[in-house]
């Protein structure tokens, strides 16, 4: 990978910028349990991580023969955002990376527009991205399809080969690879504490790291060494 050619870093949101996946997984497990569907965190990691809510609904219908009513999603999102107000925080060290990044950055997420907007506001990251936030609602197919990343690159006006995607989920990693983009897997979120961080457990050629303090050790070319850095 020629890191000096990177013009755009595309960050996933949940589990990458914010340590939210453990919260959303816990709420989903609880609400599905009330409907008689017994799953655990490992199941969520394997089947739901990085996927949009409509994809989760389809999976539930296929695997458990249950159609989730619109009220379920409304209840889930209400409870999730309410919990975020008190418990949401950024992943440790990501702010420093954003402040020192020497190229343009943006967000591409499977979250709903309302959820990602409020999430970034709550943790103070909205100032780093402005309107450079893209969601799965803007494309036909969510991750692991490449649609969202291709859409993001097109809107940002950057060649896919000059994009670096930071993802936490295998679904997101596969989407980035399918878009012919460079991709790293960040595994520092609390929801991945029990998941193997070995290179062998990830798709071939994908850089794996679990601390943001390692970001510029891996990619010094992406660091802006001036005294004050602001993403534009």
- All CATH 3.40.50.1000 domain ranges of the chain, comma separated, are 3-19+89-222
The residues pairing with 10 across neighbouring beta strands, listed in sequence order, are: 106, 165
- Residue owning tokens 């790293």: 184
Q: State the pLDDT at residue 232.
A: 39
Question: What's residue 8's pLDDT?
Answer: 98
The string over 186-196, giving b where at least 16 C-beta atoms fall within 10 Å of a residue's C-beta and e elsewhere, is bbbbebbeebe
Q: What does pTM read for this prediction?
A: 0.84
| Distance between CA atoms of residues 157 and 132, nearest Å | 12
What is the per-residue pLDDT for 166? Answer: 98
CATH number of 21-87: 1.10.150.240
d(CA 218, CA 179): 22
Given this structure, which CATH class describes domain 3-19+89-222? alpha beta
The β-bridge partners of 183 are 165
Q: Using alpha carbons, select from 90, 79, 82 the residue that is nearest to residue 19.
A: 90
For CATH 1.10.150.240, the residue range(s) in the chain are 21-87
pLDDT at 100: 97
Under-50 pLDDT residues of the chain? 196, 227-232
Give the full edge-to-edge strand order of the sheet including 182-186: 133-135, 104-109, 8-11, 163-167, 182-186, 207-209
> CA of 58: how far to CAs of 51, 63, 68, 73, in Å?
11, 9, 9, 13
pLDDT for the residue 195: 61
Q: Write down the pLDDT at residue 228.
A: 45
């Amino acid at each position: 990978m020629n890191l000096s050619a990177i013009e755009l870093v595309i960050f996933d949101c949940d589990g990458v910028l914010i340590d939210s996946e453990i919260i959303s997984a816990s709420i989903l497990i609880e609400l599905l349990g009330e409907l008689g569907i017994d799953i655990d965190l490992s199941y969520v990691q394997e089947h739901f991580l990085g996927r949009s809510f409509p994809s989760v609904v389809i999976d539930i219908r296929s695997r458990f023969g249950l159609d989730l009513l619109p009220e379920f999603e409304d209840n889930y999102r209400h409870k999730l955002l309410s919990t975020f107000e008190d418990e949401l925080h950024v992943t440790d060290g990501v702010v420093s990376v954003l402040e020192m990044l020497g190229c343009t950055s943006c967000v591409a997420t499977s979250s709903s527009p309302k959820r990602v907007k409020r999430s970034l506001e709550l943790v103070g990251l909205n100032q780093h991205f402005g309107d450079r936030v893209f969601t799965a609602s803007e494309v036909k197919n969510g991750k692991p399809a490449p649609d969202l990343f291709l859409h993001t690159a097109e809107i940002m006006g950057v060649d896919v080969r000059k994009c670096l995607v930071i993802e936490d989920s295998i679904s997101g990693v596969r989407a980035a690879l399918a878009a012919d983009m460079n991709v790293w897997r960040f595994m520092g979120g609390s929801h991945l504490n029990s998941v193997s961080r070995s290179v062998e457990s990830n798709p071939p050629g994908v850089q794996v790291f679990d601390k943001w303090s390692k970001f510029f050790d891996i990619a010094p070319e992406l660091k802006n060494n001036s005294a004050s850095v602001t993403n534009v």
